[in-house]
Structure 1
Amino acid sequence: MNNESLVIYVIVVLCLGAVLIMSKDKMPPRLKRGMALTAVVMIALAFVFIIYSLLT
């Protein structure tokens, strides 16, 4: 796996999570739930990719 792509992906995902946490009061509930679920999945994948890159 390309390490540069992985680093960029992790940075973007963590920034997305931070933006969602900071703007949680301003979003409608339906949109909030979908965005939070998407962010959780992306953050989990980022950690899986980090572990995978450390093991290979």
Structure 2
Amino acid sequence: MDPMTSSVIFIIAAFSLGAVIVMKRDTLPPKLRRGMAIISIAMIAFAFFLIVYSLFTMGSDAT
């Protein structure tokens, strides 16, 4: 699988997890809510890093 495809799948999954956590925050138990929020924040931060990194390396021809 292409590394760019893997990055896009991860970015979509991270933002989807964040959206689900925000929408269902009232139904999650408090301990699970805190852990899931920390994990989703870390995944979304890494997804932003991947987006910025792909923008910086967009013009390079390193294949």
Q: Considering the TM-score relative to the shorter chain, is it more than 0.5?
A: yes
Q: Deviations over 1:5-54 (max 9, x none)?
A: 11111111111011101110011111100000000000000000111111
Alignment partner, residue 31 of structure 1? 32
1:21 alignment counterpart: 22
- The ranges of structure 1 where at least 4 consecutive aligned residues each deviate by more than 2 angstroms after the TM superposition are none
For 2:42 and 2:28, locate their aligned partners in 1 and report how far apart those are by CA, in whole Å: 19
State the number of aligned residues.
Answer: 56
Q: Which structure 1 residue ranges, 5 or more long, are not aligned?
A: none
TM-score by length of 2: 0.82
Report 1 or 2 for greater relative contact order, CA contacts < 8 Å, sequence distance ≥ 6: 1
- How much does 1:3 deviate? 1.2
Which has the larger helix fraction?
A: 1
Highest CA radius of gyration, 1 or 2?
A: 2
TM-score between the two structures when normalised by the length of structure 1: 0.91
